[in-house]
Amino acid sequence: MSAAPYPLPRDRRIWVAGHRGLVGAAVLRRLRAEGFTDIVTRTSAELDLRDAAAVHRFLAEQRPYAVVLAAARVGGIAANAAHPVEFLSDNLRIQLNVLDTARAVGVERLLFLGSSCIYPKHAPQPIPESALLTGPLEPTNDSYAVAKIAGLLHVRASRRQYGMRWISAMPTNLYGPGDNFDLRTSHVLPALLRRTHEARERGADTLVHWGSGTPRREFLHVDDLADACLFLLEHYDGDDPVNVGTGLDTTLRELADLVAATVGYRGRIHWDTTKPDGTPRKLLDVSRLTALGWKAGIDLEHGVARTYAWYREHSGRGDAEAVGPDGVHG
CB atoms within 10 A of CB 176: 25
What are the Cα distances from residue 38, in Å, to 11, 192, 313? 6, 38, 30
Q: How is domain 14-179+219-248+282-298+324-328 classified at the CATH fold level?
A: Rossmann fold (3.40.50)
Which of 119, 144, 175, 265 is an active site residue?
144
The rounded percent of the chain whose pLDDT value lies above 90 is 85
Is 2 annotated as belonging to a binding site? Answer: no
Is 119 catalytic? The answer is no
Is 171 annotated to bind a ligand? Reply is yes
Q: For residue 82, give every residue at least 6 positions away whose Cβ sits within 8 Å of its Cβ, in sequence order, or none.
A: none
Would the annotation count 21 as a binding residue? yes
The mean per-residue pLDDT over the stretch 112-118 comes to 95
| 330 in a labelled binding site | no
* Single-letter residue type at 308: Y
> Is there a binding annotation on residue 264?
no
- Report d(CA 283, CA 263) in Å as an integer: 26
The pTM of this model reads 0.94
Task: Label residue 324 by pLDDT band (50, 70, 90).
Answer: very low
Domain definitions of the chain by residue range: 14-179+219-248+282-298+324-328
The percentage of the chain sitting over the pLDDT mark of 70, rounded to a whole number, equals 94
